[in-house]
Amino acid sequence: MTTRSCLSIILAAGEGTRMKSSHAKVLHRIGGLPMVAHVARAAEAAGAGDISLVVGHAGDEVRKAAEGFAPKAEIFVQSERLGTAHAVLAARQAISRGYDDILVMFGDTPLVEADSLAAARTRLAEGAAVVVIGFRPPNPTGYGRLIEKDGRLVAIREDKDCTEEERKIDFCNAGLMAIAGKEALKLLDQVGNSNAKGEFYLTDIVEIADKAGLAVVATEASFESVLGINNRAELAEAEAIWQNRRRRRAMLEGATLIAPETVYFSHDTEIGTDVLVEPNVWFGPGVKVAGGAVIHAYCHFESASIGPNAEVGPFARLRPGADLRENSKVGNFCEVKKAVVEKGAKVNHLTYIGDARVGAGANIGAGTITCNYDGYSKFFTDIGEGAFIGSNTSLVAPIAIGARSYIASGSVITEEVPEDALAFGRARQKTMPGKGKELRERFAEAAKAKKKSAAE
């Protein structure tokens, strides 16, 4: 298989009107990745060396997105919607280069598995000219049936055209197809449009190939893997299937998910062995969790790195650039953004750390914030190794807190603190006996007068 060249043609020209969206259907996301990108990944995993994207509606939007998930993909435009065979032929230039195998896929089937595609390619290598990927749905009504005879696929019959006997067939057309490269253009060019819609249907090549004496066969994929997405409800169903696959993979690879159904992964989430994940955790794109880490309940992560044996949460948020090193801790109701929390450092509760470094072994008290933004620019806070930051402290950046220094609770620190120093940044307490009673009486009278005035 490795010696056979392969082109994957992904049809992504559908308008997706049932999605009720201003965006192209194939760009709606599963696991944080556009549907069409999932399809491209499956094609690559099945050995497709080259990818052609056939776009139509929102073609520029799809083209721009493709730069991120398939930068080498060749874009072809289907200017008119004249059927699936017409869409495939939009990539005629690519097909004519002489690939051994051609995979025809759809940008709205994000759950397709590489194994199903590889199985179809294997049949091509064994001599088939056309391989149709089929599936067995719970209810075949409405699907085209795969009509087989003596191990050959002789036709794809639409449900409305089936005889009563053919309607009993539960093996249905998934739409995905593999075609021998040397036969592809000859077969596609024979597809006509003598039908009610005047369109060129890819499925017609089955009968064309069979009549030409070429081998046409069907392979089987799971119902889930060929699920097409047409609306938001089906998108949610596909997301649920994808998440279940990903959760299972994480657990089989050595992570413990206490309540798997409440944990949500992204397409690029990396989870190490012996990681413990408690319920209700969201892994956004770009998150890496090293072995032995503990993720407590109700956490939200995005573009963050969690080091070996680190501990996070509950109710913690790691924003882009958060980098928690070995044995560090970020506790409940804490937020970390674009900051390094070095080995053994602790940010235990009710704290915001942004644009900062928290040195190894440092301790950040409850209610501490790094004041990193002046309304125009962001500034950096450097907290040295072993520093102790007392509760309810504001560190006004840019600022450096020296190693092993001690910041008194309730301080507002605006100047550099050297190593091993003690810093206070708060006003001296003043107590005025009886003044509290006087204030309460004054406020009560003012409130009473306001209420009386409103009534009049």
Active-site residue set: 349
Q: Compute the distance between CA of residue 354 and CA of residue 339 in angstroms, rounded to an integer.
A: 6
Instruction: Provide the 3-class DSSP secondary structure of residue 20.
Output: coil
Q: Compute the distance between CA of residue 310 and CA of residue 294 in angstroms, rounded to an integer.
A: 6
Q: Are 390 and 416 in contact (CB under 8 A)?
A: no
- DSSP for 321-349, please give it: T-EE-TT-EEEEEEEEEEEEE-TT-EEEE
Q: Compute the distance between CA of residue 276 and CA of residue 315 in angstroms, rounded to an integer.
A: 15
CA distances from 23 to 14, 177, 338, 388 (A): 11, 27, 31, 50
> First CA to last CA across the chain, in angstroms?
90
CA distances from 213 to 100, 131, 189, 208, 260 (A): 19, 14, 17, 9, 51
* E strand segments, 243-375: 256-257, 263-264, 270-271, 276-277, 281-283, 288-289, 294-295, 299-301, 305-306, 311-312, 317-318, 323-324, 329-341, 346-358, 363-364, 369-371
Task: Give the pairing of strands 363-364 and 388-389.
Answer: parallel
Instruction: Provide the 3-class DSSP secondary structure of residue 316.
Output: coil
Q: Compute the distance between CA of residue 369 and CA of residue 351 in angstroms, rounded to an integer.
A: 6
Two tokens at 434?
Answer: 């009886």
Bridge partners (DSSP) of residue 335 are 317, 352
The H or E element that residue 116 is part of is helix 114-125
Q: Compute the distance between CA of residue 84 and CA of residue 91 in angstroms, rounded to an integer.
A: 12
Q: Compute the distance between CA of residue 276 and CA of residue 436 in angstroms, rounded to an integer.
A: 51
